[in-house]
Amino acid sequence: MEKESRSASYYKPTDARQVRPVHRRIRWSPWLAAFVAILVGLYAWNAHRPPDLPPVAPAVPVSAVAAKQGDLDIYLNQIGTVTPFATDNVVSRVSGQIMSIAFKEGELVEPGQLLFQIDPRPYQAQLVQYQGQLARDMATLANARITLQRYRVLLQQGVIARQDLDNQQALYDQARGSIENDKGLIEAVKVNLGYCRVVSPIKGRIGLRRVDVGNYAQASNTLVVITQLQPISVIFSVPEDDIPTVTQDMREGQVSVQAWNRDFSKQLATGFLLTLDNQIDQTTGTVKLRAQFANEDYALFPNEFVNASLLVRTIHQSILVPTAAVQRTRRSDYVYVVQPDKTVARRAIEVAASQGDVTAISTGLQSGAVVVTDGLDKLQPGSKVAVRMESQPASATRSSTNPSQSFAGQ
């Protein structure tokens, strides 16, 4: 018992001040305190934030133009060839040496202007020879006439026989024939002497010469080529289905034709339809037309390829919009019209015709309506738009638009 009590007294504290409750101390680090504060703040902000609003779609930037009322010219456009009314190969009519050349290559020449001078001396010598032969034959004729008159008197006197008179009459007629032959030879030599002066037969531009001074030109050799430039024509073809329209326009009056360069960026000349061929080409189903142009500024060059635009009709007092504004589907055509609240609405339309960058609307649109021309791929009915206005659509005169042809609605 003593041992147990001693043991118990060993584990008990001897001083009451040394008895303390056992507690675990929690130490807060600064980082942990900051994290807890952030969580508390986020919870408080989330509890008091306003409800979520639907996102606002930005306005679609587009280009637009106001439709207007006007006339639209409709053209038939085909590739044509500039063809001169006259192209002359200047040939040598006589053989001889080229003594001089009286022109500059590429210049404009007038009818009758001297081009080449061929040596005339051989023909002058022939002329002298034939003139001498003529004088001899005229003397022979005079002698035959006197003898014939004498034989007639002798025949009446019975001195000579009838046969002698007939023989003399034949000699007289032969002398007359020789004189006529001599006159023909002289005229032929004079003509050849004239051919020694090679002159221009037409007014036009002369090309590159094919002979030089000192060359011997053979008869029928081409010396140079002259091409008439004023006026000049353009030959082009139109489909046979358009022949009734063209002929009707020709009956009503002069049909205007315009000549454009290959990419329709520049108008070269304005003329009129002169005539059309008398048959259709069965291989192509087209008929050839010839248009005439004054070509005062020499803008049209022979054998040049141009685009011929033939005015066939005019649509009067129609609503005109840029062709880029018209959208096409299988069912109908439509445009996007800008509303007063800066939204767009789809408007169904009927297209009367299109000419290059301009389209005529027959129904479905009013003058002054603002139609979208650019940015259409991003639009839906009701879309908000930011509009940039463009200039008015081109007029019917088609002063600067490309005259590509379309006949929608025909």
CA separation, residue 313 to residues 73, 266, 388, 406 (Å): 6, 22, 34, 13
**Which pLDDT score is estimated for 356?**
79
28, part of any domain: no
**Which pLDDT score is estimated for 33?**
66
**Which pLDDT score is estimated for 398?**
46
pLDDT, tens digit, for every residue of 216-254? 999 988 999 999 999 999 999 999 988 898 888 888 888
pLDDT range class, residue 401, cuts 50, 70, 90: very low
C-alpha distance across the termini of the chain, in Å: 133
The better pLDDT of the pair 266, 23 is held by 266
Same domain, 221 and 331: no
Q: What span, in angstroms and rounded, lies between the C-alpha atoms of 74 and 309?
A: 9
Instruction: Tell me if 300 sits within 8 A of 80, measured CB to CB.
Output: no
**Which pLDDT score is estimated for 16?**
46
Q: What span, in angstroms and rounded, lies between the C-alpha atoms of 271 and 80?
A: 14
Which residues lie below 8 Å from residue 296, measured CB to CB, with a gap of 6+? 230
Domains in the chain, number: 3
Q: Could you give the percent of the chain with pLDDT greater than 90?
A: 54
Backbone angles phi, psi at 183, to 5 degrees: -65, -40
402, part of any domain: yes
Angle at 138 between CA 135 and CA 144, to 5 degrees: 145
CATH value at residue 223 = 2.40.50.100
Same domain, 181 and 288: no
pLDDT, tens digit, for every residue of 301-350? 999 999 999 888 888 888 999 999 999 888 889 999 999 889 999 999 99
**Which pLDDT score is estimated for 311?**
85
Instruction: Tell me if 289 sits within 8 A of 276, measured CB to CB.
Output: yes
Same domain, 246 and 141: no
Instruction: Tell me if 239 sits within 8 A of 285, measured CB to CB.
Output: yes
Same domain, 206 and 339: no
Same domain, 258 and 357: yes
Assign 189 to helix, strand or coil.
Answer: helix
Backbone angles phi, psi at 324, to 5 degrees: -65, -20
Same domain, 222 and 266: no
CATH value at residue 169 = 1.10.287.470
22, part of any domain: no
Same domain, 215 and 354: no
pLDDT range class, residue 390, cuts 50, 70, 90: confident
Same domain, 239 and 380: yes
Same domain, 175 and 277: no
State the burial class of residue 179 (Cβ atoms within 10 Å of its Cβ: 0-12, 13-18, 19+): middle
Sign (positive or negative) of CA dihedral 391, 393, 399, 401: positive
Q: What is the mean pLDDT of residues 108-119?
A: 95
Q: Letter for the amino acid at 367?
A: S
CATH value at residue 259 = 2.40.30.170
**Which pLDDT score is estimated for 397?**
43
**Which pLDDT score is estimated for 210?**
93
Assign 231 to helix, strand or coil.
Answer: coil
Q: Letter for the amino acid at 349?
A: I
213, part of any domain: yes
Same domain, 220 and 145: no
Average pLDDT, the chain: 85
97, part of any domain: yes
Q: What residues form DSSP beta bridges with 199?
A: 114
**Which pLDDT score is estimated for 357?**
86
Which residues lie below 8 Å from residue 326, measured CB to CB, with a gap of 6+? 333, 334, 335, 349, 351, 354, 359
Same domain, 185 and 302: no
pLDDT, tens digit, for every residue of 46-75? 666 566 555 666 888 988 999 999 998 888
Which of 174, 195, 216 delimits the end of a domain? 195
Q: Letter for the amino acid at 218?
A: Q
Residues spanned by the domain of 153? 120-195
pLDDT, tens digit, for every residue of 179-200? 999 999 999 999 999 999 999 9
Same domain, 187 and 203: no
Q: What is the mean pLDDT of residues 111-130?
A: 95
**Which pLDDT score is estimated for 2?**
45
Which of 211, 227, 243 delimits the end of a domain? 227
